[in-house]
Structure 1
Amino acid sequence: MQQAGGKSHRADVTRRFAIFFIDETQLGVDIARVQEINEEPAVTKVPLARDYVRGIMNLRGQIITIIDLRRKMGFTGTALREDKPGLVIVNWNGEQVGLLFDRIGEVIEAAATDIEGAPANICGTRGEFFQGVLTTGKQRIVALLDIDVVLADG
Structure 2
Amino acid sequence: MHEDISKNQEVLINNKSVNTKQFSAFYLDNRLYGIEVSRVQEVVRSMTMTPIPLAPDYVRGLINLRGQVATAIGLRELFGFHEQLPDEFINIVCKIDGMLISFQVDEIGDVIEVSEEDFEQTPQTISDNIRRYMIGVYKISNSLLSAIDVDNIIKFLNHKT
Alignment of 1:79-118 (within 5 A): 79=85, 82-118=86-122
Q: Specify every segment of 5 or more residues in structure 1 that has no aligned partner in the other structure, as ranges.
A: 2-8
Matched, 1:48 2:45: no
TM-score between both structures, scaled by the size of structure 1: 0.86
- CA shift, 1:125, in A, is 3.9
Task: String of CA shifts for 1:92-126, please: whole Å, max 9, x gaps.
Answer: 22211000001111111111111111124425643
Q: Does the Cα contact within 8 Å between 1:120 and 1:128 map onto a contact in 2? A: no
Q: Does the Cα contact within 8 Å between 1:11 and 1:113 map onto a contact in 2? A: no
- CA shift, 1:11, in A, is 5.0
From 141, 144, 148, the equivalent of 2:147 is: 144
- In structure 2, do the counterparts of structure 1 residues 11 and 86 end up closer, same or farther at CA, with 3 Å as the change threshold? farther
Distance in 2 separating the partners of 1:125 and 1:64: 24
Distance in 2 separating the partners of 1:71 and 1:84: 14
Matched, 1:126 2:125: no
Distance in 2 separating the partners of 1:38 and 1:98: 9
Distance in 1 separating the partners of 2:127 and 2:22: 22
- CA shift, 1:58, in A, is 1.1
Match of 1:14 in 2: 20
Amino acid at match of 2:154: L
Identical-pair percentage: 32
Corresponding pairs, count: 144
- In structure 2, do the counterparts of structure 1 residues 124 and 21 end up closer, same or farther at CA, with 3 Å as the change threshold? farther
* SS of structure 2 residue aligned to 1:126: helix
Distance in 2 separating the partners of 1:51 and 1:65: 13
> Which range moved further: 104-113 or 116-125?
116-125
* SS of structure 2 residue aligned to 1:70: helix
- CA shift, 1:18, in A, is 0.6
TM-score between both structures, scaled by the size of structure 2: 0.82
Match of 2:5 in 1: none
Match of 1:39 in 2: 45
Q: Answer 1 or 2: which has greater strand percent.
A: 2
